[in-house]
Amino acid sequence: MKTYLNVLKSNRDLIWVTLFAIAMAMLESAVVIYLRELYYPEGFAFPLKETSYTVAITELFREFATLIMLIAIGILVGKTKIERFAWFIYSFAIWDIFYYIFLYLIIDWPLTLSDWDVLFLLPIMWVGPVWAPVLLSLLMIIFALCILYFSKTNITTTISWKEWALLMSGSVIVIISFCIDFYQYMTTQFPANSIGELFFSKHTFDYAANYIPHHFNVGLFALGSTVILLGIGRFIKLNVKPRSKLTRN
């Protein structure tokens, strides 16, 4: 009976967290649609249109607030550290995928998964084709569901330092693949300016006004994604093994 109730509760959590993430995606897409109606009535394209400093700063705080909301979901729903991490990456991934789904349904964008987008603004601008964050989100969903499954069936489920090393290093490589084109543009176009002035000042958006994405480093992205996959695969292998032994006994 207790196991049955736990399964029901787990499914209820999954349903509500999924609905919350989808609702967040709708709100996020609504804000972006409003901004595009104001600044890109002819359709979104690079270079980015000039905005006021107030709007730019508001966008930075909005992104930070989004992260806090998703982290809060993980903390509220998860019972252990590993479950909280799983719920966070699961809600993040669902939010990210449905953000693009709502944009496509409402304003028919992106036209293709190869369209470039501004993915994030912290600590510097991340850019890349839409397919890249969608692919990462699918990996996050798979990993999160694996964590939740193993944590419900084995209370000793953990992510070892070796898996963390693979997951974190892969994530850093992927982030670099998103940031490197913008970084190279800024440092090449304005070689006399310091890194702080270019990326962390009031004038950052002015310097970036003429930026058009030139090249997405698919090789670097593939490398990072592969390292992340190795971390996920190692986690699954190490958590399946104890259950196999238990079954044979």
pLDDT digits (tens, 9 = 90+) for 174-183: 999 999 999 9
Q: Residue 57 corresponds to which tokens in the numbers above?
A: 């700063």
Tell me how far CA of residue 7 lies from CA of 4, 21, 128, 146, in angstroms: 5, 21, 39, 15
- Domain residue extents for the chain: 2-248
The predicted structure's pLDDT at residue 10: 61
Q: Which residue has the tokens 């694996």?
A: 146
Nearest to 223 by CA among 176, 164, 173, 165: 173
Q: How far is CA 149 from the centre of its chain?
A: 22
Share of the chain above pLDDT 70, in %: 92
Average pLDDT for residues 193-207, to the nearest whole number?
89
Instruction: HSE, CB side, 13 Å, CA atoms: give it for residue 113.
Output: 7
pLDDT tier, 122 (very low <50, low <70, confident <90, very high otherwise): confident
| Separation CA 29–CA 95 (nearest Å) | 10
The predicted structure's pLDDT at residue 224: 98
pLDDT digits (tens, 9 = 90+) for 22-37: 999 999 999 999 999 9
- Tell whether the model's pLDDT for residue 3 goes beyond 60: no
| Separation CA 103–CA 90 (nearest Å) | 20
pLDDT digits (tens, 9 = 90+) for 125-148: 999 999 999 999 999 999 999 999
Average pLDDT for residues 92-111, to the nearest whole number?
97
* Cis status, amide bond into 110, omega within 30 of 0: yes
